[in-house]
């Protein structure tokens, strides 16, 4: 076989193996939907047993106790007695839809060349037909913040819902925030350059902060000037200075967090959010005083330092909450796109280590909605808000009982089938078939 024919055959196999497309997005809601009898977890700490939820035109129009009313229910009626209803879970700081296969460069669109790129927009690179994105829905993760990576200023994120034809249909909040990777005051030597791999002070730390300060100052000067020559990075900063675009700063150390707070005050930045915040508890008083929320990294990890409690990652969100800091959960890190589906179980782990279960639920619903600025329509089950919710057979924060029977995004009943559920159904009877022979 010639090399050309071999390449053609390999290409055919690749195309055939990936021919199954995403589930077709659900059509707009065409009739009222009434959910009766479920325990409704509102997402703000409140629980309504034996609830009645009515959905019309994509909105929740009624949410009360079912035993308070005796009338004919409108439209399609779902008997959810013994089940639980939750607002759709929200995943901040994710690269879902930007990378499909990490080892295949053509499917990796999470980073751009350059250090300071506020004008880079993640939304236009978002792949709404990603097979990884559709695998979020069976666990109740229905919305996410799509974030670029790399550089000192990575670019601008947007918030999407996970049932759409394309990025235009998916968009919930466009260009919601700017993402900055704050420099580390300590760093390890680069062994590939012959440097000592041990941890040592970063001699370039102050220089890097000054570089960031200079960029903010230059942007402000440009925006206050004639703007005679178009400068896309500077123009992208306009909404930041107005306060309508949040600044998400990816930072972990206590010194770095305190330096960031000083940076915020000096530059009069209005909406700062810390992403990661591993040592945020050491600066909790300053964070609360400056009204800075924290998106804590997933708790399923080990401590960074040998002298720390083994369960520090598990209880960090609770401890910050106890200090009065607004806290949400995010899931970045190793295999982050796949692991984002575990978002409800991260909240369940926080609950297992001392946080009230409904407060832990808030970490991935109302708190995340507030931090991302979409709480007007999402994050809780309330009359007038988007009917983005799901029905679970049991506790949605427990992987054993988080079994969805129905899910809705803006009132549209979405498919819970994915390529993974199809494979599960295909192979679940494999050994039964062999035994029958």
User: Looking at per-residue confidence, does 288 or 226 come out higher?
Assistant: 288
Average pLDDT taken over every residue of the chain:
91
More confident: 192 or 392: 392
Instruction: Give me the sign of the Cα torsion angle 136, 171, 272, 213.
Output: positive
Residues 93/248, Cβ–Cβ less than 8 Å = yes
Residue showing tokens 């994509």: 58
Beta-strand ranges (E) seen in 39-125 are 39-41, 47-48, 51-56, 59-65, 76-79, 84-87, 89-94
Q: Which of 220, 283, 199, 224 is nearest to 249 (CA)?
A: 283
Say yes or no to pLDDT of 15 above 70. no
How confident is residue 67, by pLDDT bands cut at 50, 70 and 90?
confident
pLDDT of 18 above 50: no
Mean pLDDT along residues 402-409? 96
- State residue 320's pLDDT score: 97
Beta-sheet strands, E only, within 284-334 = 294-296, 327-329
Confidence check: pLDDT of 68 > 80: no
Bigger pLDDT: 361 vs 335: 361
**Is pLDDT above 50 for 17?**
no
Does 226 score more than 70 pLDDT?
Answer: yes
**Alpha helix locations (H) across 164-307?**
167-170, 205-223, 232-235, 238-242, 254-267, 284-289
- Quick: pLDDT tens for 234-264: 999 999 999 999 999 999 999 999 999 999 9
What pLDDT, on a 0 to 100 scale, did the predictor assign at position 13?
46
Q: Is residue 14 over pLDDT 60?
A: no
| pLDDT tens figures, 29-48 | 999 999 999 999 999 999 99
Q: pLDDT tier at 333 (50, 70, 90 boundaries)?
A: confident
Percent of the chain with pLDDT strictly greater than 70: 93
Mean per-residue pLDDT, 308-316? 94
Closest to 90 (Cα-Cα) out of 162, 157, 28:
162
Per-residue pLDDT at 300: 92
Give dist(CA 330, CA 275) in Å, integer.
Answer: 8
pTM of the model: 0.91
Q: Let me know the angle formed at the C-alpha of 163 by 376 and 365, rounded to the nearest 5 degrees.
A: 35
Taking 60 as the threshold, does the pLDDT of residue 10 lie above it? Answer: no
Q: Summarize the confidence of residues 385-410 as an average pLDDT.
A: 97
Q: Are 55 and 387 in contact (CB under 8 A)?
A: yes
Res. 433: pLDDT tops 80: no
% of the chain exceeding 90 in pLDDT: 76
pLDDT (mean) for 209-219 = 96
Sign of the dihedral defined by the CA atoms of residues 401, 405, 410, 414, in that order: positive
Domain map (residue ranges) of the chain: 89-378
The mean pLDDT of 90-113, rounded to a whole number, is 90
Per-residue pLDDT at 200: 86
Give the mean model confidence (pLDDT) for residues 353-366.
97
Model pLDDT, residue 425: 83
pLDDT(21) > 70:
no
Q: Please say whether the dihedral angle defined by the alpha carbons of residues 252, 257, 263 and 265, taken in this order, is positive or negative.
A: positive
Band of pLDDT at residue 24, cut at 50, 70 and 90: confident
CATH number given to 89-378? 3.20.20.140
**Does the pLDDT value for residue 9 go beyond 90?**
no
State how far the alpha carbon of 310 is from the alpha carbons of 220, 304, 306, 432, in Å: 45, 10, 9, 43
In this structure, what is the dihedral angle of CA atoms 267, 332, 368, 396, given to the nearest 10 degrees?
-170
Helices (H) and strands (E) in the chain, counts: 15, 20
Distances from the Cα of 35 to the Cα of 24, 109, 255, 423, angstroms: 24, 40, 50, 30
- The first and second tokens of residue 135, run together, are 């695998």
Sign of CA dihedral 213, 219, 225, 228: positive
Instruction: Report pLDDT for 429.
Output: 81
Q: How far apart are CA 215 and CA 234, in angstroms?
A: 8
Q: Per-residue pLDDT tens for 134-175? A: 999 999 999 999 999 999 999 999 999 999 999 999 999 999
Mean of pLDDT values over 258-275: 95
Q: How far apart are CA 320 and CA 16, in angstroms?
A: 49
* Residue 142, pLDDT score: 98
Residue 434 is predicted with a pLDDT of: 67
- 57-61, 254-258, 418-422 — which is least confidently predicted? 418-422
CA distances from 42 to 307, 379, 417 (A): 39, 9, 26
């Amino acid at each position: 076989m010639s090399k050309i024919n071999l390449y053609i055959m390999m290409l055919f196999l690749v195309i055939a193996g990936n021919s199954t497309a995403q589930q077709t997005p659900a059509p707009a809601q065409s009739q009222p939907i009434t959910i009766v009898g479920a325990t409704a977890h509102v997402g703000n700490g409140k629980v309504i047993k034996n609830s009645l939820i009515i959905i019309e035109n994509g909105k929740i129009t009624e949410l009360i106790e079912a035993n308070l009313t005796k009338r004919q229910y409108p439209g399609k009626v779902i008997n959810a007695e013994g089940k639980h209803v939750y607002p759709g879970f929200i995943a901040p700081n994710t690269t879902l839809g930007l990378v499909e296969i990490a080892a295949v460069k053509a499917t990796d669109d999470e980073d751009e060349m350059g250090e300071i790129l506020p004008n880079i927009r993640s939304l236009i690179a978002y792949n709404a037909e990603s097979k990884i994105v559709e695998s979020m829905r069976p666990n109740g993760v229905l919305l996410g913040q799509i974030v670029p990576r790399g550089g000192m200023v990575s670019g601008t994120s947007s918030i999407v819902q996970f049932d759409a034809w394309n990025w235009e249909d998916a968009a919930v909040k466009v260009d919601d925030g700017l993402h900055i990777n704050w420099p580390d005051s300590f760093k390890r030597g680069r062994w590939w350059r012959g440097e000592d791999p041990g941890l040592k002070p970063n001699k370039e730390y102050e220089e890097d902060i000054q570089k960031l300060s200079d960029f903010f100052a230059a942007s402000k000067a440009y925006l206050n000037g004639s703007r005679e020559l178009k400068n896309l990075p500077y123009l992208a900063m306009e909404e930041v200075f107005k306060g309508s675009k949040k600044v998400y700063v990816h930072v972990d150390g206590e010194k770095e967090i305190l330096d960031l707070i000083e940076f915020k005050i000096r530059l009069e930045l209005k909406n700062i959010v810390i992403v990661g915040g591993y040592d945020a508890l050491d600066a909790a008083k300053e964070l609360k005083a400056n009204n800075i929320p924290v998106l804590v990294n997933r708790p399923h990890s080990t401590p960074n330092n040998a002298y720390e409690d083994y369960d520090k990652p598990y209880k960090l969100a609770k401890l910050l909450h106890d200090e009065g800091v607004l806290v949400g959960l995010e899931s970045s890190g190793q295999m982050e796109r796949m692991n984002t589906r575990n978002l409800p179980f991260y909240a369940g782990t926080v609950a297992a280590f001392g946080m009230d279960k409904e407060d832990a639920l808030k970490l991935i619903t109302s708190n995340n909605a507030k931090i991302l600025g979409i709480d007007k329509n999402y994050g809780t089950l309330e009359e007038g808000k988007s009917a983005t919710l799901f029905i679970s057979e049991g506790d949605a924060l427990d992987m054993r009982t988080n079994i969805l029977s129905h899910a809705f995004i803006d009132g549209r009943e979405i498919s819970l089938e994915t390529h993974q559920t199809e494979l599960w159904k295909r192979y679940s009877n494999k050994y039964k078939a062999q035994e029958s022979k």
